[in-house]
Amino acid sequence: MKILTAIPKPLRAWVLPVLLLITWSVYGHVADNLSPAYVSILSVFERAYLLLASNELQLALEGSLTRLIKGLAIGAFIGFVVGGLLGASRLLDKLFGPSFNTLKQISLFAWIPLMSIWFGMGDTGKVVFLAMAAFFPMVVNTYEGVRSVPRELLEVARVTRLSRWQVIRLIVLPSAVPSIFTGFYLSIIYAWLAGIGAEYFLSSSPGVGTLLIDAQEHFLMDQIIVGVTVIGLVGLALNASAGRLEKSLLNWRGKSTATY
Amino acid sequence: MSKAGHLNLNHLYKSFHVKDKTLSVLEDINLSINPGDFISIVGSSGCGKSTLLRLIVGLEEDYQGDLLLNGQPIVGTSLDRGIVFQEHRLSPWLIVEKNIGLGLVNSKISDAEKASLIREHIELVGLTGFETAYPHQLSGGMSQRVAIARALVNRPKVLLLDEPFGALDALTRSHLQQELQKIWEKEGITMILVTHDVEEAVFLGNRIVVMEPRPGRIKKVIDVDLPYPRNRNSLAFNHLREQVLAEFGEDAQGSDETNVALLEPGIDLWRFSW
């Protein structure tokens, strides 16, 4: 307890990474026969510099992020609409809910063969796959949010004679926003993970996943570590920017789901 | 236009259907409420007093008998009838002004008039300065004041109050009772208060309706002739209180309130995060 409180707050999150780096470099100095899979921290930085200097990393990021934004926009939007409709209408829920729940059970990667035949191995196939990854969590959480609007507030809406659209705009949507945001976070994460996966399974075009595959093929341990780190950092940045957006929309709550 | 409403309940019956059984909740309720009356309805739990309010406000339907406001049968909700629930039921994403304004969304008056009505009612319930606060920044008593303002902002003919102060501490409760009484005198509208607090009923009502449970019936209507504002310690007040208590026997003594011990969250590194 004393150890932890001795570390200033903003630095606490760095405890684990720093310990990891120290172990890493100490291991390199003290180990007798290093495995060929071992690379020093320095060579990882060198590789990162080389990838940046040759513009390879920027191109890879640009490719991955462009597909992410396209897929996320399409998937999250359709997911929001579908989830909202299923949540708002008992009829639609009865008609399509069971089918949706069946589809949801299918592993995302099981769609890849179909996606590649329908939409090709290029960017379109990948974007569709990403959109699917973003779609499901958005539907589930939007549905949940719309369904769990407090009955008490709906009664207030009846007493104050709000119309159907006013109820949706003033009561249902705001009350569902926290849940919708949870869905959006998951969509971002799923889409980002699926995007890297898609680069593995669908033929290569510039991307961070492709960078990793190349590194694996040529046994470039340093490039693998650069790639993994970049994927993690991008994920972190995506989560943080979504958190900022949520905070501005949900200042009535003062708590964010982004931190979980 | 008369501000207050004349309510007539004639042979009013209400039952709920639970599975195959029919559960009678209200039986043969007859009550004539004059414009500007303050009616207190007391009774132990299960006597249908809340259902009666929900019928009058229009949240429950399918009743037998007559339920008339100024001679017109009550169908559904209307801006003529406002209600304050036991919980404040404020929208947490709306600031105080907007929560109160919810009652005016469909009023056919200009925005400027709406704004001035809202301002007036914030002042009426003593919340000037809190116009832009979010509900989570308010205490229980303040939230209930907002709920009262929201119910009053359309200038309804009838205001229904369903145990509005039941969840508040004793001090806040007696304070709000006094303020509600002043508001009633100022606005001159009909108010119907449901409560299980006999003192509250006697303090506020000019007529007290005592109900008995299973099925809910009116046991007795007691007129209260004491002048306002009433002194809770006066002999006449206590005499009336005893009289009402005697009407609904022993089950009135038991309070529904339970004490929940609040755990003080200590600064402990190993505590759970909630």
Q: For residue B2, is pLDDT > 50?
A: no
A256 falls within a domain = no
Using a CB–CB cutoff of 8 Å, tell me whether B133 touches chain A: no
Distance CA A47, CA A225 (A): 9
CB contact under 8 A, B77 and A175: no
Residues 199-258 of A with CB under 8 A from B: 250-254
Which CA distances in Å does B87 have to B83, B138, B141, B182?
Answer: 11, 13, 10, 22
Q: For residue A141, is pLDDT > 90?
A: yes
Any idea how long chain A is?
260
Task: Name the band, by pLDDT with cuts 50, 70 and 90, for residue B261.
Answer: very low
Q: How many Cα atoms are found within 13 Å in the side-chain-facing hemisphere of B178?
A: 10
A11 falls within a domain = no
Task: Name the band, by pLDDT with cuts 50, 70 and 90, for residue B260.
Answer: very low
Q: What was the ipTM of the complex prediction?
A: 0.81
Starting at the earlier edge strand, list the strands of the sheet with B7-18: B21-33, B7-18, B64-69, B72-73
Nearest chain A residue to B55, by CA: A159
Tokens linked to A249:
């929309």
Nearest to B134 among A158, A170, A252 (CB): A252
CB contact under 8 A, B79 and A158: no
Counting the structural domains of chain A, the total is: 1
Per the prediction, chain A carries an average pLDDT of: 87
As a whole number, mean pLDDT of residues B137-165 equals: 89
As a whole number, mean pLDDT of residues B81-90 equals: 90
Nearest chain B residue to A251, by CA: B93
Nearest to A159 among B57, B87, B269 (CB): B57
As a whole number, mean pLDDT of residues A45-64 equals: 89
A147 vs B167, residue with greater confidence: A147
Per-residue confidence (pLDDT) for residue B100, from 0 to 100: 92
Per-residue confidence (pLDDT) for residue B262, from 0 to 100: 44
Domain range summary for chain B, segments of one domain joined by +: 7-80+156-252
Using a CB–CB cutoff of 8 Å, tell me whether A159 touches chain B: yes
Q: For residue A61, is pLDDT > 80?
A: yes
Rounded to a whole number, what is the distance in Å from the CA of B250 to chain A's nearest CA?
Answer: 32
- State pTM to two decimals: 0.78
Domain of residue A64, residue span: 55-249
pLDDT > 90 fraction of chain B, expressed in percent and rounded: 10
Amino acid of residue A221? M
Which CA distances in Å does A252 have to A244, B43, B132?
Answer: 14, 38, 11
Q: How many CB pairs under 8 A join A and B?
A: 67
The SS3 assignment for B44 reads coil
Per-residue confidence (pLDDT) for residue A258, from 0 to 100: 42
Distance CA B204, CA B185 (A): 11
Task: Name the band, by pLDDT with cuts 50, 70 and 90, for residue A147.
Answer: very high
Task: Name the band, by pLDDT with cuts 50, 70 and 90, for residue A69.
Answer: very high
Per-residue confidence (pLDDT) for residue A127, from 0 to 100: 92
Distance CA B252, CA B122 (A): 35
- Residue found under tokens 């932890």: A4
Q: For residue A68, is pLDDT > 90?
A: yes
Using a CB–CB cutoff of 8 Å, tell me whether A158 touches chain B: yes
A230 falls within a domain = yes
Nearest chain A residue to B93, by CA: A252
To the question of domain B7-80+156-252 being in CATH 3.40.50.300, the answer is yes
Of B273, B272, B216, residue with least CA distance to B63: B216
Most A CBs within 10 Å, among B84, B98, B102, to test the A interface: B102
Domain at A209, CATH number: 1.10.3720.10
Q: For residue B46, is pLDDT > 60?
A: yes
Enumerate the residues of chain B whose CB falls inside 8 A of the CB of residue A153: 89, 91
Beta bridge partners of B190: B158
Of B213, B197, B214, residue with least CA distance to B253: B197
